[in-house]
Amino acid sequence: MEKRDKTNRETLFETLIEVAERNPDTSELDLHGMDVYEAEYAIGHFLDQEFMAGTTVVKITYGIGTGTLARELPRILKISPHVETFRTGRANGIAAYVVLEKK
């Protein structure tokens, strides 16, 4: 099986996310206590604002809870016109780091 080399673009996205993970000033949206519908609205509004502000990477914290938001978050992010890529993982609970597309 042939291992695929990372493209420059993928490497850039990974670097941006790694920097954001270490930066306490990364713009953040906390979804704790929200249901899926509230979270979807909040995410759309947050990503619109951050995109317009020129932000490159944001953090979305969603916790563990029942796991519903963890399952739905990829779907929500995939339909956003502003999301270039994202990575979910642990960071003070559960969080996703999202790279916003620049147009």
- The domain that contains 29 carries what CATH number? 3.30.1370.110
Report yes or no on 34 lying in a domain. Answer: yes
Q: Check residue 4 and give its pLDDT.
A: 60
Q: Where are the alpha helices (DSSP H) in 1-103?
A: 8-22, 36-52, 68-78
- Indicate whether 17 belongs to any domain: yes
Q: What is the pLDDT of residue 9?
A: 77
Task: Show the tokens assigned to 63.
Answer: 């916790």
pLDDT reported for residue 90: 57
Sign of CA dihedral 17, 18, 24, 30: positive
pLDDT of residue 93: 53
Out of 10-14, 49-53, 59-63, 99-103, which region has the weakest mean confidence (pLDDT)?
Answer: 99-103
* Number of compact structural domains in the chain: 1
Q: What is the pLDDT of residues 30-68, one digit of tens each?
A: 999 999 999 999 999 999 999 999 999 998 988 877 888
Q: Domain span at residue 72? A: 8-100
- Report the chain's mean pLDDT, rounded to a whole number: 84
Domain presence at residue 1 = no
Question: Given this model, what pLDDT does residue 91 score?
Answer: 53
